[in-house]
Chain A
Amino acid sequence: MTTPHTAASTPPPTDPHAPDPPTTGVAAPAHTGSSATRTLGLVTLAAMALLVFLAFVASPRDQVQGDLVRLLYIHPALAWTAYLACGVATTASIWHLVKKTPGSDVLAHSAVEVGAVLTALTLATGSIWGRPTWGVYWVWDARLTSTALLFLLLLGYLALHRIDAAPEVRSRRAAVVGVLLVPNVVLVHQSVEWWRTLHQDPTLARRDFDFATSDLFMFTLVYSVVVMSLVFTWLLIHRFRVGWLALQAEELWLDTAIEARRAEGAGTTEPAETTRTEPPRSEGGLP
């Protein structure tokens, strides 16, 4: 069953969050949902259901593509969101290099992670579409090739963000790769496209298929892009919140670590009259 359950995991508003009594007295739900994103999730679910209906039931077979046209209601939309994710990642990375705010790094990292999933799906659906259309899973088509390289670039970013280093170090280095993401994609795309157009045998001309363009086809195509953008937005928001929470958890830990460090200092002081222990300070820690 292909029911989209993109937002199915959005917790219900009355979540009892039973297993976490030790959090502070405020009865905030322990998850990353908010009423706005719950609404967004429900809208996305409904829109996705409608897309499935349009793609499989309402829209006709294409004269050239046959039923395969139904894959086009998802593949270009995925590719669009993958590129959108790159754009977000690069913008956020520039922002991070200029302003050095932790949030911009979380945003860039989130966009790259979501983008990597979407790029992988773009490649998968592209290959699945290519098998019946071209007879092979992979052709050195310009778009497919440059998307594959984009996937590798995203993996590089994620690997760099996973290094064992101070958060600022990690963020700064990742941001440099993030800034270069879009220029790299452009360069890769340009080179691959020239390469394939200068050397290509004409079989791929079939890529520019000749649709018996029904209105419904065009509508579904555009609509799929809208739906996938909604999915992307939902994923990005939640991924951002997860990253933000991880950052907060790290800072909380840091506060306690500083306390522990001070206690260590107090505990190992010199004995008796030479000692002038620092008074405990209420402020301090991270701004």
Chain B
Amino acid sequence: MWRDALLVAGKDLRIERRSRVAVNQILPVALAMLMLFGFALDPDSPVLARATPGLFWVVVLFVTVLAVERSFSLESADGVRDALRLSGLHPGGIFLGKFAALAAQLAALQVVLGFGVVVLFGRDLAGYPLLLATLVAATAGIAAAGTLYGVLAAGLRVRETLLPLLLLPVLAPVLIAATRAFETALDGVPSDGWPWFNLLAVFALIYTGFGILAFGSLLEDS
């Protein structure tokens, strides 16, 4: 399973390296959203600074929808879905591979977005341990749920519209928890934020575990 996961993740990242869709399209969308928030909320008022953690994660959620769609549009091309089933790859391995590639891309996006927030919104970063831990746990949760719901919507005519409907309500706890954790890391007492980290970790574990179990039967039907 682990070997298959590495193989699939390597394949996804290699496709990204060759096509650069995440870098050249998804990342600019994320930065555009940051700019739009700047326009919508007066940058000179304290509103923008206060809202920064929430805006950051809202951007991440919307970008996730794009990234998940991209990740599964790869597998819908030219009968590849059938080929994956016939390949003998372990379904849990495929899930972990897609998950890892998605998480890696999201993490890279978040780092760039973080710089964007620092530069555009003039925020100073603080509370690094909590900040980083939140980033890791939230990314894992988002990527796991994204992979699971991505395959749920994959191969359907309505997948572009169905995916956000399924995914966004499910990710609401991640948005709340990651935002609060960032708030406490940046503005409050960082130690208050650890319960939120725990919630994120539980979320990530539930979705990763269930994804490994359920992916096979989801991949099975066409």
Whether A and B touch directly in their complex, counting CB atoms under 8 A apart, is answered as yes
CA distance A195 to B180 in the complex (A): 8
Cβ of B170: which chain A residues have Cβ within 8 Å of it?
A: 153, 156, 180, 184
A247 within 8 A of B: no
Is the pair A190, B173 in contact by a Cβ cutoff of 8 Å? Answer: yes
Number of interface residues of A (CB under 8 A): 30
B124 within 8 A of A: no
What's the nearest-Cβ distance from chain A to residue B130, in Å? 15
Considering only CB atoms, which chain A residue lies closest to B152 in the complex?
A173
19 contacts between A and B (CB under 8 A): A97-B217, A153-B169, A156-B169, A163-B156, A164-B156, A165-B221, A166-B221, A169-B222, A172-B218, A172-B220, A173-B218, A173-B221, A176-B218, A179-B210, A179-B214, A187-B206, A191-B172, A191-B177, A198-B180
Cβ of A242: which chain B residues have Cβ within 8 Å of it?
A: none
C-beta contact mask, B185-214 vs A, less than 8 Å → 1, else 0? 000000000011001001100100010001
B residues with CB within 8 A of A:
148, 152-153, 156-158, 162, 165-166, 168-170, 172-173, 176-177, 180, 195-196, 199, 202-203, 206, 210, 214, 217-218, 220-222
Cβ of B206: which chain A residues have Cβ within 8 Å of it?
A: 183, 187
Is the pair A191, B152 in contact by a Cβ cutoff of 8 Å? Answer: no
Closest 4 CB pairs of A and B: A191-B173, A152-B169, A169-B221, A191-B176
Considering only CB atoms, which chain A residue lies closest to B203 in the complex?
A187
> Given A173-B152, A179-B210, does the pair A168, B173 have CB atoms closer than 8 Å?
no
> Given A180-B210, A190-B199, does the pair A149, B162 have CB atoms closer than 8 Å?
no
What's the nearest-Cβ distance from chain B to residue A90, in Å? 12
What's the nearest-Cβ distance from chain A to residue B22, in Å? 26
Cβ of B152: which chain A residues have Cβ within 8 Å of it?
A: 160, 173, 176-177
A237 within 8 A of B: no
C-beta contact mask, A172-197 vs B, less than 8 Å → 1, else 0? 11001101100110011011101100
Is the pair A176, B221 in contact by a Cβ cutoff of 8 Å? Answer: no
What's the nearest-Cβ distance from chain B to residue A228, in Å? 25
Is the pair A192, B156 in contact by a Cβ cutoff of 8 Å? Answer: no
What's the nearest-Cβ distance from chain B to residue A168, in Å? 6
Within 8 A of B (CB), among A83-129: 97
> Given A164-B157, A165-B156, A183-B206, does the pair A176, B169 have CB atoms closer than 8 Å?
no
